């Protein structure tokens, strides 16, 4: 396996905050890009997410490292007039600029595409919004919980009948959106290779959420008939339902029509195919609760390990419902580089989640801890060509706050 990195020499400036934009930069960094993380003097709020309920609380700043590993970090007060020369040199240095600043604030800061593209016509300007660039809600702030989950329709469907909408897993929409933004960036880079031209690329949490819900949204577009919300005890299809084994493990079972005979034979109930309550489609619709009750009793008679062997033996699709504490023990994660070592974070954080795509024959950059606040101020400023006198002037103006020396593992 070669150690050459696909994006070696690619320069990225990450001006985004929280999760989605920074995570797109992480994917680029995994493949070798040099990423500079730019934060306000007070730091990105995501640095403290490990102390903010309902996030799982820990002494290690695990969300920060996950969204900002492999990056160099500087602090910059974008509101300071003295910051403008730094922004200009960052843009001239960069191949990619990632932002999620709301557009009204971006206009005030003169960070819109037309403001910065004049400095670097080859720049890939990656813009992430909550609800898109146009329309009455274009300037609304959005998190994945509101724009990706609630507004897209996903949240209305991911619940059982009679239950209120639940609280989604934090960051799930953000990380899906990060992959979308990364894809837009890579598409623009490919175009630049062919034309030499930069580009303005964009996606939104809403667009990504609708894309994730697109089977149902497309159904709505053609006025399809929707079944009621899923009811585990009376589902639209008992062969596609959630059941519980005797050890308390819930599992998702998806039996397609071509596998039905093999499955009922494997579970010891071939009679279900000829049972008049279930063999006739009209009667089956009326007797779904009885069928689920039979399957509940059957599946509740053996532990998950038993059903794993049964289902695996007939190659039927199923999945045990795992907790995060169980997921990290799954051998599939380490064997497929889904979880990889993390260098330098300290504390208990010795590994991290890899970005979800691989190129065979190409080794990713070993994951390294996220930067401390302002950790690389002077190094980056020197790389951008600022003299010692100019750097001292930036400190004196407050555009670049003096970074406090911190331990390697400290981020807050």
The Cα–Cα gap between 23 and 31 comes to 13
Take residue 145 and report the two structure tokens written for it. 């919980």
What are the structural domain ranges in the chain?
11-212+329-397, 240-244+250-320
Q: What are the beta bridge partners of residue 215?
A: none
Same fold? 11-212+329-397, 240-244+250-320: no
The Cα–Cα gap between 391 and 401 comes to 11
CATH 3.40.30.10 correct for 240-244+250-320: no
Q: Identify the band that residue 280 occupies on the pLDDT scale cut at 50, 70 and 90.
A: confident
* Helix, strand, or coil (residue 240): strand
Q: Identify the band that residue 289 occupies on the pLDDT scale cut at 50, 70 and 90.
A: very high
Q: What is the CATH number of domain 11-212+329-397?
A: 3.40.50.10540
Q: Identify the band that residue 3 occupies on the pLDDT scale cut at 50, 70 and 90.
A: low
Q: Kindly calculate the radius of gyration of the chain based on its CA atoms and give it in whole angstroms.
A: 26
Q: Identify the band that residue 410 occupies on the pLDDT scale cut at 50, 70 and 90.
A: very low
Write the CB contacts of 37 (distance below 8 Å, at least 6 apart in sequence): 14, 22, 25, 68, 71, 72, 73, 74, 370, 371
pLDDT tens digit sequence for 359-371: 999 999 999 999 9
Q: Say what the pLDDT of residue 403 is.
A: 65
Q: What are the beta bridge partners of residue 8?
A: none
Q: Say what the pLDDT of residue 97 is.
A: 99
Mean pLDDT along residues 242-257? 97
Whether residue 335 contacts residue 361, with contact meaning beta carbons closer than 8 Å, is answered with no
* Helix, strand, or coil (residue 319): strand
Q: Say what the pLDDT of residue 355 is.
A: 97
Q: Identify the band that residue 412 occupies on the pLDDT scale cut at 50, 70 and 90.
A: very low
Is the pLDDT assigned to residue 409 strictly greater than 70?
Answer: no
Is the pLDDT assigned to residue 404 strictly greater than 60?
Answer: no
Is the pLDDT assigned to residue 407 strictly greater than 90?
Answer: no
Question: In residues, how long is the chain?
Answer: 412
pLDDT tens digit sequence for 11-52: 999 999 999 999 999 999 999 999 999 999 999 999 999 999
Mean pLDDT along residues 105-120? 97
Mean pLDDT along residues 266-281? 94
Per-residue DSSP letters for 34-50? Answer: EEEEEE-TT--GGGGGG
Q: Identify the band that residue 111 occupies on the pLDDT scale cut at 50, 70 and 90.
A: very high
pLDDT tens digit sequence for 149-169: 999 999 999 999 999 999 999
pLDDT tens digit sequence for 187-213: 999 999 999 999 999 999 999 999 999
| % of the chain exceeding 90 in pLDDT | 93
Q: Identify the band that residue 408 occupies on the pLDDT scale cut at 50, 70 and 90.
A: very low
The Cα–Cα gap between 345 and 410 comes to 8
Q: Say what the pLDDT of residue 1 is.
A: 43
């Amino acid at each position: 396996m070669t150690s050459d990195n696909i994006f070696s020499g690619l320069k990225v400036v990450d001006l985004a905050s929280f999760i989605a934009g920074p995570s797109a930069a992480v994917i680029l960094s995994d493949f070798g890009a040099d990423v500079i993380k730019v934060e306000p003097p007070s730091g990105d709020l995501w640095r403290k997410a490990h102390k903010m309920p309902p996030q799982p609380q820990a002494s290690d700043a695990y969300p920060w490292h996950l969204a900002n590993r492999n990056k160099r970090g500087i602090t910059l007060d974008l509101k300071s007039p003295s910051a403008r020369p730094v922004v200009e040199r960052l843009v001239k240095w960069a191949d990619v600029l990632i932002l999620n600043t709301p557009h009204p604030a971006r206009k005030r800061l003169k960070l819109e595409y037309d403001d910065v593209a004049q400095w670097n016509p080859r720049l890939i300007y990656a813009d992430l919004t909550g609800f898109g660039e146009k329309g009455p809600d274009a300037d609304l702030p959005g998190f994945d919980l509101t724009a990706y989950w609630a507004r897209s329709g996903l949240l209305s469907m991911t619940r059982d009948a009679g239950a209120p909408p639940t609280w989604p897993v934090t960051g799930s929409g953000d990380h899906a959106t990060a992959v979308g933004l990364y894809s837009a960036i890579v598409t623009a880079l490919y175009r630049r290779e062919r034309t030499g031209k930069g580009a303005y690329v964009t996606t939104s949490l809403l667009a990504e959420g609708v894309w994730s819900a697109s089977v149902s949204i497309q159904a709505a577009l053609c006025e399809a008939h929707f079944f009621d919300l899923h009811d585990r005890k009376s589902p639209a299809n008992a062969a596609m339902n959630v059941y519980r084994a005797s050890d308390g493990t819930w599992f998702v079972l998806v039996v397609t029509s071509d596998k039905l005979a093999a499955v009922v034979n494997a579970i010891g109930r071939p009679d279900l195919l000829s049972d008049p309550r279930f063999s006739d489609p009209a009667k089956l619709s009326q007797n779904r609760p009885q069928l689920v009750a039979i399957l509940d009793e059957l599946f509740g008679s053996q532990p998950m390990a038993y059903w794993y062997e049964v289902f695996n033996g007939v190659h039927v699709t199923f999945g045990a419902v795992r907790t995060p504490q169980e997921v990290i023990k799954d051998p599939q994660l380490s064997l497929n580089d889904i979880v990889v070592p993390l260098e330098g974070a300290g504390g208990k954080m010795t590994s991290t989640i890899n970005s979800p795509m691989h190129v065979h024959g190409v080794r990713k950059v070993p994951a390294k801890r996220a930067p401390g606040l302002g950790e690389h101020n002077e190094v980056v400023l020197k790389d951008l060509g600022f003299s010692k006198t100019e750097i001292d002037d930036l400190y004196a103006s407050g555009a670049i706050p003096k970074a406090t020396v911190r331990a390697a593992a400290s981020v807050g």
